[in-house]
Amino acid sequence: MKNEKGITLVELIAVLAIAGIIVALIASVLSSGTNASQRTSLNQQLQQEGNIIVEKIRAQYLLNQKEDLIPDKFEIVVENDKLLFKDETGANVIISEGFNYDLDPLSTDVSSPTKKKTVLDRTRKSDLDLLIRGKTNGNSPIQEYKINTSFSKLN
The answer, as to whether pTM is greater than 0.85, is no
Asked, for residue 4, whether it belongs to a domain, the answer is no
pLDDT value at residue 105: 63
Asked whether residue 3 is assigned to any structural domain, the reply reads no
> For residue range 93-143, what is the model confidence (pLDDT) as tens digits?
889 998 888 887 655 454 555 678 888 888 888 898 999 988 766 666 788
Beta strands in 4-115 (DSSP E): 73-79, 82-87, 92-97, 100-102
Instruction: Give residue 22's pLDDT.
Output: 97
Q: 17-64, pLDDT tens digit by residue?
A: 999 999 999 999 999 998 888 888 888 999 999 999 999 999 888 877
pLDDT at 110: 46
Number of domains in the chain: 1
CB-based contact 52:96 (threshold 8 Å): yes
Domain that holds residue 146: 9-151
Does 17 map to a domain?
yes
Residues 61-90, mean pLDDT to the nearest whole number: 79
Is residue 1 in a domain?
no
* Inside any domain, residue 2: no
Kindly state whether residue 117 falls inside one of the protein's structural domains. Answer: yes
CA–CA separation, 140 and 142 (whole Å): 7
Three-class secondary structure of residue 99 per DSSP: coil
User: For residues 17 and 42, what is the distance between their CA atoms, to the nearest angstrom?
Assistant: 38
Q: What is the pLDDT of residue 113?
A: 56
* Residue 18 vs residue 88, higher pLDDT: 18
Residue 142 lies in a domain: yes
Q: Is the pLDDT of residue 6 over 80?
A: yes
